[in-house]
A and B are shown apart, each in its own frame.
Chain A
Amino acid sequence: MNLSNHYHVRDIIFVTLIGIAFGAIFISTNFIYNFLTVILTPMGLAPMANDINMGIWVMAGPLTGFILRKPGAGFLGEFLAAVGEMFFGGQWGASTLISGTIQGLAAELGFTLTGYKLYNWFSLTLSCLTTTIITFGWDMFKNGYTEFSFNLLILLFIVRFISIFFFGGILTKMIAALLDRSHVLTKFGGTNV
């Protein structure tokens, strides 16, 4: 495993804990999802609850990729959290693992495309975009998005991108700025490289 060389056991624990910590924050947003679903269903827009919340669920990917700055971080951040969630958190079972894998790969792709050299608005936005496109593609099948009219699909896609860009892009950048100024990651990065 090529990826393996980049990671020490502490990195793996850290990345997993990020997913777990964010999961603990997202639990408090479950009511928003349920509320939106109940409101949007009579309007025929139930799936939009999914798209509105998507950013919260996937932000661990762009964030870990962006702050750890090494290959695989975006994927692991999302994937290991999904493994934890499968066993301990939600009961979404096997689909959590599949979604986690897909979301992880999607977030990773943004950083892969910039060769793991660029860590700025561009690569972060790219990661948000790849995450939007790939998770949307997955929902075409998994959640039956293929049935929707083209106009609705456009709307859902835009909503999803805004959500992912807000949490995975804007928030991530603000969080990274705080981390950067507090120098806590330099201590962490020191023994990784």
Chain B
Amino acid sequence: MSNIDIKNLSFSYQPNVPTLENMTAQFEVGKFSLLVGSSGSGKSTLLKILTGLLPTFGGEITRGRITIPNQLTVGLVFQNPNHQFTLDTPRHELEFVLENLRTNPSEIPNKIISALSFCEVQHLIDRQFNTLSGGEKQKVALAIVIAMDRDIILLDEPFASIDPKSRTELINKLVCLRDDKHKTIIIADHDLLGYQSIVNNIYTIKNHDIQTLLHDEGRKLLTEFEQQSPTINCTKPASNSSISFMFNQLNISIQNHKLLNQVSLPIPKNKVTLITGENGIGKSTLFLSMTKLMKYHGQITLANVDIQSIKAKKYARQVALIFQDSENQFLTVTMREELELSKQHRKTNYFNDEVIKECLTKLNLLALLDQVVYTLSEGQKKKLQLLLMMIVEPEIMLLDEPLKGLDINSIHQIIQIINGYRGQHQQTIIIISHQISGLNNFVDHQLHFERQHLTYLETHHES
């Protein structure tokens, strides 16, 4: 059978800023292909071009073409499980989908049941999507692609926010689809665990280009990923250290699903604490509770004061959450305006114009001062967001996946900027991060989130 053929493909969202450049690759029909690349590398863009959503929804193919053989049909499972359904329940959504395909009404009920059963989610048929977990939503999303009987199934980082068990179950279903139904699977992921024995081909996207890895190169990439040590050098906090946050009988749940049940936990002041744990375990939700954006039971205190009794504005100036989605924190239009705005709310004169300019230079942002912030690349947005939040000098910074999409040099520069500030001022930092390379020597303590519990880890020196 012929292949999905990408030839000299160039694509840009804005004129002269290519997202994909002169890309050539072939995806084998009936095989399981894995697409690897950091966030913002263009994986989504490629998958959306294959689906036909781009350039319909923006951007332009400036060169080259994509050929999909024999009128094979393409289906896509999106990264964000929340915005991929039109209606309120799996049954209604599947009815909608099958109506769109002009399925004979008498066949609709059976198709719905068989697609949901294949993904083992038939019990969710009449549940509201709002009450489903991320993993359940992604299973329904896959069931929809199956009900549509698509030949080529694309998945765009489908496991980004779901628990490892659901992830394994979904990957097994995809293998079944390939082996029993001869579907073509192309999946974009940055977590490479669990693919070793099943994947046929591996591609990497980097610097706007795609590379097809030879068999051995691919194996090596997966093996290296699996052997990555999941811990970094850290100690348990000393018992006499001063405390910033303290959790007492803290219970956090989402829709009757318990995430955290912590009797007592101190977080030391003026230290850097890293929180690790599997996807979907509740790390980001914990941050939302700590910033009073999410309800919880029990007590969180800051310097022995219940955070609920601190006024919203005062508390926000003490404790800043650096949101995963950088755009959340932008308020104006250009980078210059954003910086001006942050400068108005400094607490000390540490970040004077000179220091800011130095930071911008380090972060490679200086030339972009007049650019509209929403047109920056994801990495640039993240660097700007971190700088803006540094400038307003919160006493405590909660960083939610701050390294996503950043290259190692940027990470070093950011750590240098933070360390520079912390050399002269007190600041407590709590980080959620999957990626820990680059964080060694920065992090003091590591909290591991597991089975509704947070525990301090301790490593014995190796390197």
| Residues B262-307 near A (CB distance < 8 A) | none
What's the Cα separation between A184 and B333 when bound, in Å? 10
Chain B residues within 8 Å of A10, by CB: 57
Contact with B along A175-189 (1 / 0, CB 8 A): 000100111100100
The residue from B57, B332, B334, B372 contacting A191, defined by CB atoms under 8 A apart: B57
A183 engages B58 (CB within 8 Å): no
B114 at interface (Cβ–Cβ under 8 A)? no
A44 at interface (Cβ–Cβ under 8 A)? no
Summed over the interface, the residue pairs from A and B with CB atoms below 8 Å come to a total of 19
Contact with A along B353-390 (1 / 0, CB 8 A): 00000000000000000001111000000000000000
A42 at interface (Cβ–Cβ under 8 A)? no
| Residues B1-26 near A (CB distance < 8 A) | none
Nearest B residue (CB) for A9 = B86
Which one of A10, A182, A184, A191 has the highest number of Cβ atoms from chain B below 10 Å of its Cβ? A182
B309 at interface (Cβ–Cβ under 8 A)? no
Nearest A residue (CB) for B372 = A182
Nearest B residue (CB) for A178 = B333
A190 at interface (Cβ–Cβ under 8 A)? yes
Q: How far is the CB of B45 from chain A (nearest CB, A)?
A: 14
Q: How far is the CB of A191 from chain B (nearest CB, A)?
A: 7
Nearest A residue (CB) for B330 = A182
Contact with A along B53-82 (1 / 0, CB 8 A): 000111000000000000000000000000
Q: How far is the CB of B54 from chain A (nearest CB, A)?
A: 11
A190 engages B58 (CB within 8 Å): yes
A184 engages B374 (CB within 8 Å): yes
Chain A residues within 8 Å of B332, by CB: 178
What's the Cα separation between A182 and B338 when bound, in Å? 13
Contact with B along A154-193 (1 / 0, CB 8 A): 0000000000000000000000001001111001001100
Contact with B along A88-120 (1 / 0, CB 8 A): 000000000000000000000000000000000
Chain A residues within 8 Å of B375, by CB: 183
Q: How far is the CB of A15 from chain B (nearest CB, A)?
A: 16
Q: How far is the CB of B57 from chain A (nearest CB, A)?
A: 7
Q: How far is the CB of B377 from chain A (nearest CB, A)?
A: 16
The residue from A181, A187, A190 contacting B333, defined by CB atoms under 8 A apart: A181
The residue from B56, B57, B374 contacting A182, defined by CB atoms under 8 A apart: B374
Chain B residues within 8 Å of A182, by CB: 333, 372-374
Chain A residues within 8 Å of B373, by CB: 182
B57 engages A183 (CB within 8 Å): no
- With A181-B372, A182-B372, A182-B374 known to touch, is A191 a contact of B333 (CB < 8 Å)? no
- Classify the secondary structure of A's interface with B: helix
B58 engages A187 (CB within 8 Å): yes
Interface range, A side: under 10
Chain B residues within 8 Å of A181, by CB: 333-334, 372
Chain B residues within 8 Å of A184, by CB: 374
Chain A residues within 8 Å of B372, by CB: 181-183
Q: How far is the CB of A53 from chain B (nearest CB, A)?
A: 24
Which one of A184, A187, A191 has the highest number of Cβ atoms from chain B below 10 Å of its Cβ? A187
- With A178-B333, A181-B333, A182-B333 known to touch, is A191 a contact of B374 (CB < 8 Å)? no
Chain B residues within 8 Å of A191, by CB: 56-58
What's the Cα separation between A183 and B15 when bound, in Å? 13
Nearest A residue (CB) for B373 = A182
What's the Cα separation between A183 and B375 when bound, in Å? 9
Nearest A residue (CB) for B56 = A191
Chain B residues within 8 Å of A178, by CB: 332-333
What's the Cα separation between A178 and B373 when bound, in Å? 12
Chain B residues within 8 Å of A183, by CB: 372, 374-375
Q: How far is the CB of A17 from chain B (nearest CB, A)?
A: 11
Q: How far is the CB of B99 from chain A (nearest CB, A)?
A: 15
Nearest B residue (CB) for A184 = B374
What's the Cα separation between A13 and B317 when bound, in Å? 36
Q: How far is the CB of B321 from chain A (nearest CB, A)?
A: 20
Nearest B residue (CB) for A183 = B372
What's the Cα separation between A133 and B57 when bound, in Å? 39
What's the Cα separation between A181 and B334 when bound, in Å? 9
Q: How far is the CB of A167 from chain B (nearest CB, A)?
A: 20
What's the Cα separation between A191 and B375 when bound, in Å? 18
Nearest B residue (CB) for A187 = B58
Nearest A residue (CB) for B57 = A191
Q: How far is the CB of B357 from chain A (nearest CB, A)?
A: 24
Q: How far is the CB of B340 from chain A (nearest CB, A)?
A: 15
Nearest B residue (CB) for A10 = B57
Nearest A residue (CB) for B332 = A178
What's the Cα separation between A94 and B56 when bound, in Å? 38
| Residues B315-349 near A (CB distance < 8 A) | 332-334
Contact with B along A135-163 (1 / 0, CB 8 A): 00000000000000000000000000000
What's the Cα separation between A10 and B56 when bound, in Å? 12
What's the Cα separation between A169 and B56 when bound, in Å? 33
Q: How far is the CB of A113 from chain B (nearest CB, A)?
A: 32
Q: How far is the CB of A84 from chain B (nearest CB, A)?
A: 13
What's the Cα separation between A10 and B374 when bound, in Å? 20
Contact with B along A1-41 (1 / 0, CB 8 A): 00000000010000000000000000000000000000000
Q: How far is the CB of B52 from chain A (nearest CB, A)?
A: 13
Q: How far is the CB of B338 from chain A (nearest CB, A)?
A: 12
What's the Cα separation between A16 and B372 when bound, in Å? 26
Chain A residues within 8 Å of B58, by CB: 187, 190-191
Contact with B along A24-67 (1 / 0, CB 8 A): 00000000000000000000000000000000000000000000
Besides A178-B333, A182-B333, A190-B58, 6 more A-B contacts (Cβ < 8 Å) are: A10-B57, A181-B334, A181-B372, A182-B374, A183-B372, A187-B58
List residues of A whose CB falls within 8 A of some B CB. Answer: 10, 178, 181-184, 187, 190-191
- Kindly list the 3 A-B residue pairs having the minimum CB-CB distance in the complex, ordered from nearest: A181-B333, A182-B333, A182-B372
Instruction: Supply 12 A–B pairs (Cβ within 8 Å), ascending by A.
Output: A10-B57, A178-B332, A181-B333, A181-B334, A181-B372, A182-B372, A182-B373, A182-B374, A183-B374, A183-B375, A191-B56, A191-B57
